[in-house]
Amino acid sequence: MIERYTLPEMGGIWTDEHRLELWLKIEIAACEGWAKLGKIPNEAVEIIRKRAAFSWERVQEIEEVTQHDVLAFLTNVAEHVGDEAKHIHLGLTSSDILDTALSLQLVEASEILLTKLEGLEAVLRRRAIEHRDTLMMGRTHGIHAEPITLGLKFALWYDEIRRQKQRLAFAREEIRVGKISGAVGTFANVDPQVEAHVCQALNLKPALISTQIIQRDRHAFFMTTLAGIASTLDKIATELRNLQRTDVHEVEEAFGKGQKGSSAMPHKKNPITPERICGMARVIRANAQVALENVALWHERDISHSSAERMILPDSTIALDYMLHKMTQLIDRLNVFPEQMKVNIDKGCGLIFSQRVMLALVDKGVSREAAYALVQTNAMEAWNTKEQFQNLISKDTKIREYLDEKEINELFDYGYHTKHVADIFQRLELI
């Protein structure tokens, strides 16, 4: 991932140095496991613990010759350890180290993402409560439908983020597995107790069965979970972009002092953060497709997945970390314009009450078809002439046969549409 979108903590997980640090932990833990079985002298393990080290620069030099990253690493470690290095990597294959380290990295990344999700959840909760009763127009197909509140919109996103947090926690446990089972997963040259020791030492679970690799359905599930979270952020960002449009302008991304919106037009205040989030979500969804393609490999393994994973796993976790960070800031600082919301509601000439008028006529004994036709006739006239819908209803003699002036006035009450908002908030434990 480019530096522009890389936050330090998440970026640190995917550095070459950190990856090799994890490799070294795994190798030392494997030596400890062998020592418990009496295969390696305890004294040798002590020497390995004290001396084992590596230099990323030196590993790169060696890899230029070996063209094999794990062998280059082991050669460099041996340079530090000396004779006792003969016990390192005993019975193991490269993927024992690679896949177990990758699981550790993904667990670490998950912890950061879960913390970011909790932060976004808290901000959405606060803003939902703040705007529980802020009336705004609900829209379907982009067209005015019936009133909602801005708090309901925030509450909807809050609930979805809670679900996504649960999914990521589950995906984290799915990927919390290691394997130290040898070249084709049969433990021919390594005892299962070594694997058990390594996994326990690293807070992983041994994969119940593996080939040369941990099976990639786990990684695909992890990546599709990230894609789902990214899509939720995309959904929120798309809505905020629409609500910031000049002809809507009900909310607005905070605009900092000295910020510029356009190189050509000084008046511009663009929704740059939501647009960036939408674009990055596309990348993560595309990466999830790659992860799904990686599930099917030849026989006990090939390495067609390896090169792709070196890109999609760091890039996706780094990107999502950044997206969550920016979305939390965006929601926290979002400018809200209730007065403009009222202006937009009034643009509909009261047509939002059409269903309620129709239902009132049905309650008076009019058939649904006839009631619909009576209301639609007046609704279309209001739409075309911009006369208030309530005035047209009041003047319609056929409707007045069933509804008097007082009853009509009571139908045009915004409170009717928001009377159960508190009930919804109660369901979400936001009250």
Backbone angles phi, psi at 400, to 5 degrees: -65, -15
Crossing angle of helices 304-333 and 272-293, in 10° steps, is 160
Catalytic residue, candidates 141, 263, 299, 307: 141
Catalytic residue among 262, 304, 367, 420: 262
Report the C-alpha gap between 128 and 421 in whole angstroms.
11
CB neighbours of 280 closer than 8 A, spacing ≥ 6? 5, 230, 319, 322, 323
Q: How far apart are the first and last CA of the chain?
A: 41
Give the β-pairing of 135-140 and 143-149: antiparallel
Full DSSP string of 112-176: HHHHHHHHHHHHHHHHHHHTTT-EEEEEETTEEEEEEEHHHHHHHHHHHHHHHHHHHHHHHHHH-
Residue 124, CA distances (Å) to 158, 279, 430 in order? 5, 22, 11
CA–CA distance, 52 with 74 (Å, rounded to integer):
10
Site of tokens 């082991």: 74
Beta bridge partners of 336: 251
- Known catalytic membership, residue 262: yes
Q: How many CB atoms lie within 10 A of CB 324?
A: 25
With H, G, I as helix, E, B as strand and everything else as coil, classify residue 283. helix
CA-closest candidate to residue 350, choices 318, 373, 378: 378
State the Cα–Cα distance between residues 337 and 352, nearest whole angstrom.
20
CA dihedral 334, 344, 160, 151 (to 10 degrees): 70
Contact 223, 309 (CB under 8 A): no
Beta strand 251-252 with 335-336 is antiparallel
Query: Looking at the annotation, which residues are catalytic?
Result: 141, 262
